[in-house]
Amino acid sequence: MRVKAQVAMVMHLDKCIGCHTCSVTCKTTWTNRPGTEYMWFNNVETRPGVGYPQEWENQDYYKGGWELKNGKLRLRAGGPITKLMNIFYNPNMGSMDDYYEPWTYDYDHLINSPKSEHLPVARPKSMITGNYMDKPEWGSNWDDDLAGGSEVVSRDPNVKGLQDHIAMEYEKTFMMYLPRICEHCLNPSCVASCPSGALYKRDEDGIVLVDQEECRGWRFCMNGCPYNKVYYNWNTHKAEKCNFCYPRTEAGLPTICSETCVGRIRYIGVVLYDADRVKAAASVEDPQDLYEAQLNCFLDPFDDEVIKAAKEAGINEEWIKGAQESPIYKMAMKWKIALPLHPEYRTLPMVWYVPPLSPIMNHITNEEELNTDGYIPAVDQMRIPISYLASLLSAGDTSVIRKVLLKLTAMRVHMRSVNVGGIDEIGKSKLLEEAGTDVETIEEMARLLGVAKYDERFVIPTGRREMDDDLHYRQGACSLEDLAPPEGLVTFSSERGK
């Protein structure tokens, strides 16, 4: 057993209102420099839709993530030899047209234009070339709230895979929001794709980072990541990605996207996992078993043996306590209501999602007279097809989604009967049994999902500075490398303790 700690996030999609506050605060924090204009470490997609970059789930195009070939785990875009052969031209990498050409507006013209018959306008202007753009044709959330209509929706790779046709008639449409950040995977394919070895997973907290001094700009990480969450800075010619706001999490603060989330949909906590089980888990035959396999990598932070092994691996009391109180551990492992995004990419992602329930219930009109069992068929006839959610969150296994939705429904029904009175007691119905849960758990769930305060949603132990090599020296230095005192900058990778 090789115990490692990982900071992880769960997003409760029911509460996402699609306001993009997370994206904007992230952008103003991290990607407001030249070369990063088009980057969104955090973005919010309307589903069904093509997302950002367009059709990022289409792995026939981007060839991201891992695949199982003859029982062996290999990179879909090819191993080291293929990569070195393709190093002069990467055939699978997206171009700026797959993302979008960032633009600003010629605001000066509004103030400085000479007197004329017509009102002056601010024309869009490319932030790449400085040329005027006649009409911007795509942006990071161009198809927000189904704005693209059936034309864009039909290009959603998840829609293409559905058995039944999705009607885009007004009365039958459905949508949901999907906020996305880097998944900080347990088996990251971006790290494996990097020829220079510049990408790495941090030992202490599992955050996946790019060493800006070692990155040589070979760009295989861009499409090597199946979530397309590594970006190429055209100005510095190096890769950049979500860093889980490590300067904040090291100080015990949540990431800026979580901190500013209006709907308070995000939860951050620590989980312990066994690094020795990762490879086997990523290599299971059936993609639908990947969710269970990933769950098996996680360790019970209350188990004495796990605690002992964790301490031996250098994980301190505070982090073990963090893992025990972790909201992620509760939602993903204990209650099993959070699911990984696209487990079939075999990267074992660590940002999980509680699937949305509310649109299911919208068409129940007789809730006052409905007995508890009456909710069970409602789950199966939900507005968002279970198969669509399954395509996103469980490699197509609808039974996993159904179980989660039944738990959430049971929670809803029970809390409704507690607060406004129900037709019958939940204990007498089959709902609890079908959902595989009990009243006590449901009430705990309702608290965490509904009313949990800041310290319950974000349980983040601080960075383990006491193990730093030279604390006295680092006093007053910023953890952003370039801001540290110049005499402290190490130059050669051998000095950086790889």
Partner 1 sequence: MEAIFWWVIFPYITLAIMIFGSIYRFAHRQLTWVAPSTEFFEKKWLKIGSPLFHYGLLFAFIGHVMGMVIPKGFYHWIGVSDHMYHILAIYGGGLAGLMIVAGAVILLIRKMTIDRVRVHATFADFFSVISLIIVAGLGVYVTLVYNTTVVAYEYRDTIGPWFRSLFVFQPQYELMRAVPFVFQLHVISAFALFASIPFTRLVHLYSAPVHYLNRPYQQYRSRSAYKRKGI
Q: How many residues bind partner 1 (CB under 8 A)?
A: 55
Which range touches partner 1 (CB under 8 A), out of 124-132, 291-299, 336-344, 434-442? Answer: 124-132
In the bound state with partner 1, the residue whose beta carbon lies nearer, of 268 and 390, is 268
Residue 268 contacts residue 458 (beta carbons within 8 Å): yes
Q: Which residues does 365 contact at the CB level (< 8 Å), separation at least 6?
A: none
Q: Identify the residue among 72, 81, 115, 304 touching partner 1 (CB under 8 A).
A: 81
Of the candidates 378, 332, 352, 284, the one whose C-alpha atom is nearest the C-alpha of residue 68 is: 284
In the bound state with partner 1, the residue whose beta carbon lies nearer, of 61 and 376, is 61
Q: Identify the residue among 28, 33, 82, 87 touching partner 1 (CB under 8 A).
A: 87
For partner 1, the binding residues in 90-109 under the rule CB under 8 A are 90-91, 93, 95-96
Q: Which residues does 134 contact at the CB level (< 8 Å), separation at least 6?
A: none
Residue 479 contacts residue 247 (beta carbons within 8 Å): yes
In the bound state with partner 1, the residue whose beta carbon lies nearer, of 327 and 461, is 461
Name the minimum Å distance from CB 458 to partner 1.
Answer: 20
For partner 1, the binding residues in 169-198 under the rule CB under 8 A are 187-188, 191-192, 194-197
Q: Do strands 176-180 and 43-47 pair parallel, antiparallel, or not at all (unpaired)?
A: antiparallel
CB atoms near residue 381 (< 10 Å):
11
Tokens 């075999």, residue located: 346
Instruction: Compute, in degrees rounded to 10, the torsion defined by CA atoms 2, 6, 11, 12.
Output: 50
Pattern 294-333, partner 1, x by CB under 8 A: --------------------x-------------------
DSSP 8-state class, residue 394:
S
Q: Contact between 366 and partner 1 (CB under 8 A)?
A: no
Tokens 């885009």, residue located: 168
DSSP, residue by residue, 326-340: -HHIIIIIIS---EE
Give CA–CA dist 343/281, Å, rounded: 11
For partner 1, the binding residues in 448-477 under the rule CB under 8 A are 463-464, 467-469
Q: Contact between 235 and partner 1 (CB under 8 A)?
A: yes
Q: Identify the residue among 108, 203, 305, 443 touching partner 1 (CB under 8 A).
A: 203
Of the candidates 345, 313, 332, 191, the one whose C-alpha atom is nearest the C-alpha of residue 271 is: 332
Q: Contact between 238 and partner 1 (CB under 8 A)?
A: yes
Name the minimum Å distance from CB 284 to partner 1.
Answer: 18
In the bound state with partner 1, the residue whose beta carbon lies nearer, of 231 and 388, is 231
In the bound state with partner 1, the residue whose beta carbon lies nearer, of 70 and 491, is 491
Tokens 């209102």, residue located: 17
Is residue 217 helix, strand or coil?
A: coil
Query: Which residues of the chain form contacts with partner 1 (CB under 8 A)?
Result: 80-81, 83-84, 87-91, 93, 95-96, 128-131, 187-188, 191-192, 194-197, 199-205, 212-219, 232, 234-238, 314, 463-464, 467-469, 491, 496-498
